[in-house]
A and B are shown apart, each in its own frame.
Chain A
């Protein structure tokens, strides 16, 4: 069966510090991968998606970037965090056969102080 992992589970970082969040998927090959952010009191917003290694599309302009160095690894990064980057970050995947159904990871709670 397929599983999706995210780490760390929680993170507190000062403004201006770098960020690296990792997401890995097991039990499937060549998945579509997604990064979402859930800010306090707001709905989830898609940040990035990837259809393959090195292929990243951004949905909204922001202070963040994403990379996919391996087939089942998706990384969310920032060189300098802003207060507004605080939120709950969720990684998701979908299969090539059923791209319309996304499965979500446990999330990372990021607090920028």
Chain B
């Protein structure tokens, strides 16, 4: 059974810092991996999707990497801003399955 773990559970940084969020998964037979952002009491916004054949994806100040063989992904946020404060969720889609398996998220607070 796939399990997704995100470390750290919470992170507080001053504005302007570069930071890395970590995601690990137990079964490397994934179809893709997706990073989401969730604001308090809100739905999920998709940030980046990495197919299993890809190593990384970039969107603006965000860069996500994938090392499928070691079961790891990182989300790099450059020059963090207070507006980046949210919970970041990592989710994997296993090959042949419809469901996404989510981690518990990293709650990020960027201090102005």
Q: Which A residues touch B93, using CB under 8 A? A: 100
Q: Which of B44, B93, B101 has most A Cβ within 10 Å?
A: B44
Q: How large is the interface on A (under 10, 10 to 19, 20 to 34, 35 or more residues)?
A: 20 to 34
A43-B89, A109-B41 are known contacts; what are 18 more A-B pairs with Cβ within 8 Å? A43-B4, A43-B104, A44-B102, A45-B102, A46-B99, A46-B100, A49-B98, A57-B98, A88-B41, A92-B44, A100-B49, A101-B34, A101-B49, A102-B34, A102-B46, A106-B43, A107-B41, A107-B43
Q: How large is the interface on B (under 10, 10 to 19, 20 to 34, 35 or more residues)?
A: 20 to 34
Q: How far is the CB of A12 from chain B (nearest CB, A)?
A: 14
Task: Report how many A-B pairs have Cβ atoms within 8 Å.
Answer: 53
Q: Which B residues touch A107, using CB under 8 A? A: 41-43
Q: Report Cα–Cα, A59/B99, bound state, in Å.
A: 8
Chain B residues in the interface with A (C-beta under 8 A) = 4, 31-32, 34, 36, 41-46, 49, 89, 91, 93, 98-105
- The chain B residue with its CB closest to the CB of A6 is B43
Asked if A104 is at the interface (CB within 8 A of a chain B CB), the reply is yes
Q: Report Cα–Cα, A103/B45, bound state, in Å.
A: 7
| A100 near B42: Cβ-Cβ < 8 Å | no
- 14 interchain pairs, CB-CB under 8 A: A6-B43, A41-B104, A44-B100, A46-B99, A46-B100, A59-B99, A100-B32, A100-B49, A102-B34, A102-B100, A103-B46, A104-B43, A105-B43, A106-B42
Q: How far is the CB of B31 from chain A (nearest CB, A)?
A: 6
Q: How far is the CB of A106 from chain B (nearest CB, A)?
A: 4
Q: Which B residues touch A101, using CB under 8 A? A: 34, 46, 49
| Contact residues, A15-46 vs B (CB, 8 A) | 32, 34, 41-46
